[in-house]
């Protein structure tokens, strides 16, 4: 029978395969995810000491499985040395545990004299890791307390924070403490003093935090996130102390670091630099009383907020909204202030940063008053009164402003200036109380009253205060 040539079928072999099932698709997706992570791990290994050390641990395991025990032990020694130099005792302990496993099998004939050495190393590392965790736990819990309620609200809060700090902070012998032990100790001290309004001590320990990186220059690159956080906490303390010249100097250092062309970058550091640079640039405008100029940062800031939205928690969004509202209020744009204060007031989780929620409502009342929105003001007063009643956190400053705003209907226009003078006198006395000073950190109500008394823009009052301060 003669050959008639190839005849195409109606369906090729590749088309005859049935479509992938849901289970196969899930497996393919999981496999692709693992491959991507493996490739990213290789790509980032040169920039992360802990990844490199774990690769060496894996190498030591392979050598051990192949029966090359001495070579495995030598690699584990290198891992321990590298981990200790990098301040990563948990990796050093992992290498030590593997080393003990090999030695305990009596296959290397090297246990003589090693038992005591390995035991002593284990004991020292466990003590070091335990102290590191104790210090970092104290710092983390203090930060969590700040996120929840802000600064100490009264003597009871103050006593609780002091008691917690004394009971949980371990002693750190300066001669024996390593880099991370000192770092977490300074970090805990910063949060402790920040919570209790002791900004001088906060400044002192934040400076020690930053100086520690100057003493260990390599750590600035390996632990860039902790360095950036230290710079921000130092700037926060300087802002609260109104230490303008030092504030500008440290902010310039942070901006220079951010602009360094060959520094290590990753999404985490870039988000933190965005948060801290813009926060402190805005704070600089607040110190100088240049609110109108500060508004020029707002479009770029909002764009950055949208860009990093997936990596930001709601706390930071509320902080920036309050700062933007303060810029609008200080520049005389009350409706702009109301717009951003409404974003905070309408936020669903009212338990997050209760202090910020509270002062947003107070500033919102004042902005409605300044805008002449009398009808809305009456509703806002009732709304804020109910909110503060639920919080059970009314300060004397809030009470006095409430009384003033609620009595506006009974005050004749020609009596208004005297009413402002009386309110300012009361608030100036209240501001002398350490625990009543907290509201004035969020809202410079005295400068606003000065502007009403002297009939000049609040921005002009702030600029005058800045000149007098310098």
What the block records as the tokens of 7 is 């005849």
Residue 8 reports pLDDT greater than 70: no
Q: Which one of 88-102, 199-213, 356-370 scores highest in mean pLDDT?
A: 199-213
In degrees and rounded to multiples of 5, residue 152 shows phi and psi of: -55, 130
* Separation between Cα atoms, residue 198 and residue 257, nearest integer Å: 28
pLDDT digits (tens, 9 = 90+) for 150-197: 678 788 888 888 988 988 888 776 666 788 889 999 999 999 999 998
- For the chain, which residues make up each domain, given as ranges? 29-111, 129-197, 339-470
Question: Measured in whole angstroms, how far is the alpha carbon of residue 417 from the centre of its chain?
Answer: 42
* pLDDT one-digit tens code per residue, 57-86: 999 999 988 888 889 888 999 999 888 877
Cβ–Cβ contacts within 10 Å for residue 15, how many? Answer: 8
The model carries a pTM of: 0.80
Where does the pLDDT of residue 381 fall: very low under 50, low under 70, confident under 90, or very high at 90 and above?
confident
4's tokens: 């008639």
Give pLDDT, residue 468.
Answer: 86
Q: What is the DSSP letter of 348?
A: S
Q: Give the phi and the psi of residue 306 in degrees, each rounded to 5.
A: -65, -40
* Distance (Å, whole) CA 147 – CA 354: 9
Q: For the purposes of burial, counting CB atoms within 10 Å of the CB of 208, is it exposed (0-12), middle (13-18) or buried (19 or more)?
A: middle
Task: Please state, in angstroms and rounded to a whole number, the distance separating the CA atoms of residues 421 and 400.
Answer: 13
DSSP string, 12-23: -TGGGSPPPPHH
Give me the pLDDT at residue 1, please. 44
The CA distance from 353 to 109, in Å, is 61
Residues in contact with 255: Cβ distance below 8 Å, sequence separation at least 6, in sequence order: 277
From the list 214, 260, 205, the residue with the least C-alpha distance to 236 is: 205
Instruction: Quickly state the pLDDT bin for 43 (edges 50, 70, 90).
Output: low
Mean pLDDT in the chain?
A: 84
- Torsion of the alpha carbons at 341, 342, 348 and 350, rounded to the nearest 10: 40
- Averaged over 286-296, what is the pLDDT? 93
Report d(CA 360, CA 322) in Å as an integer.
Answer: 7
């Amino acid at each position: 029978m003669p050959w008639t040539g190839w005849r195409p079928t109606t369906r090729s072999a590749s088309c005859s395969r049935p479509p992938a099932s849901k289970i196969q698709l899930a497996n393919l997706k999981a496999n692709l995810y693992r491959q991507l992570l493996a490739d990213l791990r290789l790509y980032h290994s040169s920039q992360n000491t802990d990844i490199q050390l774990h690769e060496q641990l894996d190498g030591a395991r392979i050598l051990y499985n192949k029966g090359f025990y001495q070579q495995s032990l030598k690699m584990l020694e290198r891992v321990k040395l590298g981990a200790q130099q990098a301040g990563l005792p948990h990796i050093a302990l992992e290498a030590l545990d593997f080393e003990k496993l090999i030695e305990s099998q009596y296959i290397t004939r090297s246990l003589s004299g090693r038992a005591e050495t390995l035991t002593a190393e284990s004991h020292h590392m466990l003590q070091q890791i335990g102290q590191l965790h104790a210090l970092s736990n104290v710092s983390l819990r203090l930060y969590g307390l700040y996120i929840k309620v802000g600064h100490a609200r009264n003597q009871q809060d103050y006593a609780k924070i002091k008691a917690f700090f004394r009971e949980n902070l371990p002693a750190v012998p300066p001669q024996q403490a390593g880099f991370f032990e000192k770092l977490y100790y300074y970090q805990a001290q910063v949060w402790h003093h920040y919570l209790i309004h002791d900004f001088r001590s906060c400044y002192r320990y934040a400076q020690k935090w930053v100086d520690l990186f100057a003493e260990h220059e390599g750590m600035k690159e390996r632990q860039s996130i902790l360095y950036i956080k230290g710079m921000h906490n130092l700037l926060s303390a300087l802002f609260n102390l109104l230490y303008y010249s030092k504030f500008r100097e440290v902010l310039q250092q942070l901006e220079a670091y951010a602009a360094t062309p060959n520094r290590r970058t990753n999404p985490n550091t870039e988000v933190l630099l965005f948060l801290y640079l813009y926060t402190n640039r805005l704070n600089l405008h607040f110190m100088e009383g240049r609110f109108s100029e500060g508004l020029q940062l707002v479009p770029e800031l909002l764009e950055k907020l949208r860009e990093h939205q997936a990596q930001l928690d709601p706390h930071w969004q509320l902080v920036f909204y309050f700062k933007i509202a303060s810029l609008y209020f200080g520049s005389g744009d009350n409706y702009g202030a109301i717009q951003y204060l409404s974003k905070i007031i309408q936020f669903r989780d009212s338990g997050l940063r209760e202090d910020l929620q509270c002062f947003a409502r107070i500033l919102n009342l004042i902005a409605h008053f300044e805008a002449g929105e009398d009808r809305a003001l009456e509703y806002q007063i009732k709304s804020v009164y109910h909110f503060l009643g639920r919080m059970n956190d009314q300060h004397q400053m809030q009470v006095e402003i409430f009384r003033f705003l609620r009595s506006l209907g009974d005050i004749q226009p020609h009596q208004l200036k005297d009413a402002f003078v009386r309110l300012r006198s009361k608030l100036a006395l209240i501001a002398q109380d350490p625990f009543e000073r907290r509201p004035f950190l969020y809202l410079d109500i005295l400068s606003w009253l000065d502007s009403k008394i002297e009939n000049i823009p609040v921005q002009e009052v702030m600029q005058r205060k800045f000149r007098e301060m310098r």
